[in-house]
Structure 1
Amino acid sequence: MTIERILYLLQLASPALPVGAYSYSEGIEALIDMGTISDAQSLQHWLEQELLYGAIRLETAVMVRAYHAVQSENIAALSYWNDWLSAARETEELRLSSWQMGRSLAKLLLQLQPQVAPFVDALEPCNYAIAFGIAAASWKIDPLLSVVLGYLHSWTTNLVTAGVKLIPLGQTAGQQLILNLFPDLMNAATEILSLSDDDLCSCGWGLSLASMVHEIQYTRLFRS
């Protein structure tokens, strides 16, 4: 990867990207409220299981397909996978968060990279994973493994940050937790790149239940 492409990837995966990811906890807030997650070890265990079996694998796999669709200028495939991912979201909270973040990133892309308009204009609403794939392809970030790692690392950082605020954890503990997950991120990225369309499945009922609880949680710091 050239230095220029590294910079593009860092910008795309940055917590400073104005898409509102920081306002969502993906069920972490409900799990902490219920006591399922109570310390760094239990948060790490939850994230490890999500990387092994959870919906983040589906999201990332669809992001890869969006990347390829943009490369081949296949708007029909891009629209198909966007609809597929919307249908795969198991709660209203998860679907709306994906759409809101996707809409924000798509709007940003239209301002920074106007040539993506034919792809973005064909999608409403646009899922975040789809918009991420469009951005990575339009910025020619390569190899694809680095794009997948950037997406997974951004997801991990956001949820660890939520845990740091809610459990609460110290900043050092949060950074150590991210470092501990590096092998899991690498394994997940490699496996996701090898998935065929027929292999796209997940075991995310724990996340789904946590999300449904969070939708009606009495007090919340994070958006639902």
Structure 2
Amino acid sequence: MATATDILTLTQWFSPAYPVGAFAYSHGLEWAIDAGEVATAAQTHAWIEDVLRHGAGWNDGLFLAAAYHAEQDGLAEIDATSRAFAASSERLKETRLQGAAFCDVTAKVWATDLAQLTYPVAVGRAARLEGLPLDLTTQFYLMAFVSNLAAVAMRLVPLGQTDGQRLIRDLTPLCTEIAEQTCEGSLDALTSTAFLGDIAAMKHETQYSRIFRT
């Protein structure tokens, strides 16, 4: 059972104040908005839900859990697979740079032995080393992902603050569901059919005017 310290530690790790630079990435959503694919609250909800169920949300849950269960000598293969599942150079940059930032600050603050890992693998390993509950860690990770994408939409669609918060609330049960389904961490369950999200990330690489790094 999670303790108050566990919950507060995860709150700190996934706070906007934790210096992983998540605010700088849109995961391709900026291009989708610019192209008119996402223009309403309902379309934003559908886009983020699909990415969670069928794209990076699902896979990151599996990578996080696999890293949590793995011993040190198994991390390199998990991390290499995580990199291979990044469908574009910007998506690779997103997970690589956030992971490096997470490893750097977490190692310094918690004296934790973390290498340069992709973001979900780094979080899974850190949670294992700190004895944090896997299911709760995954829920926090996915909620932070949803919140970041909702913040992108609030700025660019634009969505109002109320609609943005309603969207986060409505997607919370899905974060819990994915956390429960991925807790065994079997990479045999890796899949990705969020094709438009992948294409959006590729298109973003050559987008003329943009705010976000991905």
Question: With structure 2 as the length reference, what TM-score do the two structures score?
Answer: 0.94
Q: Distance in 2 between matches of 1:62 and 1:99?
A: 13
Name the structure 2 match of 1:30: 31
* Other-structure match for 1:60: 61
- Structure 2 match to 1:212: 202
SS state at 2:211 partner: coil
CA contact (8 A) 1:54 1:203 kept: yes
Question: Is contact 1:23-1:223 (8 Å) kept?
Answer: yes
Q: Distance in 1 between matches of 2:210 and 2:103?
A: 28
CA–CA distance in 2 between the matches of 1:180 and 1:16? Answer: 24
Distance 2:186 2:213 in 1: 34
Partner of 1:3: 4
Letter in 1 for 2:58: R
- Counterpart of 2:142 (choices 144, 152, 162) is 152
Cα distance in structure 2, aligned partners of 1:101 and 1:157: 16
Q: Which runs of 5+ in 1 are unaligned?
A: none
Aligned residue for 2:186?
196
* TM-fit CA distance, 1:196: 3.0
Tell me the distance in 2 between the aligned counterparts of 1:127 and 1:197.
Answer: 15
Query: Hey, what's the Cα distance between the residues in 2 that align with 1:96 and 1:212?
Result: 12
* Cα 1:46/1:141, change in 2 over 3 Å: same
Number of residue pairs the alignment of both structures matches: 213
* Identity rate, percent: 32
The 8 Å contact of residues 29 and 214 in structure 1, kept in 2 or not, is answered as yes
Shift of 1:194: 4.9
Q: Which runs of 5+ in 2 are unaligned?
A: none
Matches of 1:97 and 1:197, distance apart in 2 = 21
- Return the match for 2:110 from 104, 108, 113: 113
Residue 63 and residue 106 in structure 1: after superposition, are their counterparts in 2 closer, same or farther (change >3 A)? same
Hey, which bits of structure 1, 4+ residues long, moved more than 6 A? none
Partner of 2:157: 167
| 1:181 match: secondary structure | helix
Q: CA deviation at 1:195?
A: 5.8
Query: Which residue, 74, 77, 102 being the options, matches 1:80?
Result: 77
TM-score by length of 1: 0.90
Separation in 1, partners of 2:56, 2:6: 28
Q: Deviations over 1:197-218 (max 9, x none)?
A: 3221121321110011111000
- Contact in 1 for aligned 2:61/2:178 (Cα 8 Å): no
Choose from 111, 129, 138 the match for 1:138. 129
Q: Secondary structure at the match of 2:96?
A: helix
